[in-house]
Amino acid sequence: MYSGNRTISIHLLRGILGVAALYAALSSTRGGFWPALILLAAAIYLLKGCPLCWTLGLIETIVMAIHRRNERKFDSANSDLGSGFSSNRLCPKL
């Protein structure tokens, strides 16, 4: 995975922290340049780029979670078929 995380909860946590850091960076521009710059760098790191990149990563994380769940279901259903068929369920073993 490039933009996503292993779990949805980790991705959401990074998003919340990234948005908070972005808000703090934009709010602290009058207080000083360096704190705002450090917070902006932290926001970019936590969001893995811009907020749109984070959103695409969330979609990717959700799709990968669904894929992993369906793959486990397929593997358990495939093991119940017995040894008469190959793993793709269409071609019999010779």
- Asked if residue 30 is part of any domain, the answer here is yes
CA distances from 66 to 58, 60, 61, 82 (A): 12, 10, 9, 26
Question: Rounded to the nearest 5 degrees, what angle is found at the Cα of 36, between the Cα atoms of 31 and 41?
Answer: 170
- Asked if residue 39 is part of any domain, the answer here is yes
How high is the mean pLDDT in each 10-residue block of the chain (94 residues)?
77 95 93 92 92 91 90 76 54 52
Amino acid type, 79 = S
- Asked if residue 87 is part of any domain, the answer here is no
pLDDT, position 89? 54
Tally of domains within the chain:
1
- Asked if residue 1 is part of any domain, the answer here is no
Range of the domain at 73: 8-79
User: Can you give the length of the chain in residues?
Assistant: 94
